[in-house]
Amino acid sequence: MTVAAMTGTERIARAFARAKAERRLAVAIYLTVGYPDRASTPALLRAALDGGADVLELGVPFSDPLADGATVQRASEVALANGITLKDCLDEARAVVAERDVPVVLMGYANPFLHYGLDRFAREARVAGVSGVIVVDLPAEESAPFDAVLEPAGVARIDLYAPTTPDDRLARLVPRAHGFIYCVSLTGVTGARRALGSDVAAFVGRVKAHARVPVVLGFGISEPSHAAALRGLVDGVAIGSAAIDAVTAATDKAAALRAFVRAMADAGRS
């Protein structure tokens, strides 16, 4: 099967299988589309890939990002001021998938997808080569309208689970997951942290007991030491706020992001 003929779910599986064969963590990098400006996004996405990212998470800006800390909130505000829409996010996905063999996942909140129209979104996501969607404020139990259009399009709806998720809910929902499972490392909003929570290993173990797809840990992953500590525990790490911070602080933003991603990717190697 050629890369072009793969479904999004198959493209995700291929990326994680490659990382596993190379005895390393897969690295997912989140960037808000349109931050710090519209013109910067293509170069930043490609810089992340050049640094070693296996998955790109394209942040869909939203006016009320309840799960996000100050860094992503600010990036979303700037992107909205720059006029970024869900259509722009699909266009960025289409462009990078046409150039690179990479799974692209759109990450955002339910409102923009619903406003766009789920049928229209699923159709255009498939054409664009989008591999998956993370809808932060959509519980799995309420996802049927999304699943009804995304599954036939081969686009994975990726669930998030927090340390507070009870075992019976994990047992019921995790075996049905598609693409990968996003484990939230803490009870709180996104943002760089100095240390991982002491309960991460136990939480990941509870999820892995039911998982049939790769398990990724995100929220607070910000330093190479974090990635190194997670080798052998999870299949991948998702990094957002720290990547955006690296962009914000730099003059040569693409070079800074490339170096940051490379350091995180290197730390995830056995």
Domain residue spans in the chain?
3-267
Residues in the chain, pLDDT under 70: 1-4, 186-198
% of the chain residues with pLDDT over 90: 88
| Sheet containing 236-239: order of strands | 156-157, 132-135, 104-108, 55-59, 26-32, 236-239, 215-218, 181-184, 160-161
**What pLDDT is stored for residue 265 in this prediction?**
98
* 258: amino acid identity, one letter: R
**Phi, psi of 252, rounded to the nearest 5 degrees:** -90, 90
Residues 6+ apart with CB under 8 A from 34: 41, 61, 78, 79, 80, 82, 83, 84, 88
Which of the 8 DSSP states describes residue 52?
A: T
Q: How many residues does the chain have?
A: 270
Nearest to 7 by CA among 154, 105, 157, 134: 154
Q: Give CA–CA dist 27/267, Å, rounded.
A: 10
**What pLDDT is stored for residue 34 in this prediction?**
98
Cβ atoms < 10 Å from Cβ of 85 = 17
* 77 counts as catalytic: no
Tens of pLDDT, residue by residue over 36-59, are 999 999 999 999 999 999 999 999
* 78: amino acid identity, one letter: V
* 260: amino acid identity, one letter: F
Of the residues 22, 50, 54, 57, which is catalytic? 57
Q: Which residue has the tokens 């990382």?
A: 19
Q: Give CA–CA dist 231/235, Å, rounded.
A: 8
Per the CB < 8 A criterion, the answer to whether 41 and 27 are in contact is: no
Of the residues 54, 68, 124, 235, which is catalytic? 68
* 223 counts as catalytic: no
Q: Give CA–CA dist 252/102, Å, rounded.
A: 24
**What pLDDT is stored for residue 245 in this prediction?**
96
Per CATH, the architecture of 3-267 is what?
Alpha-Beta Barrel (3.20)
Per the CB < 8 A criterion, the answer to whether 44 and 253 are in contact is: yes
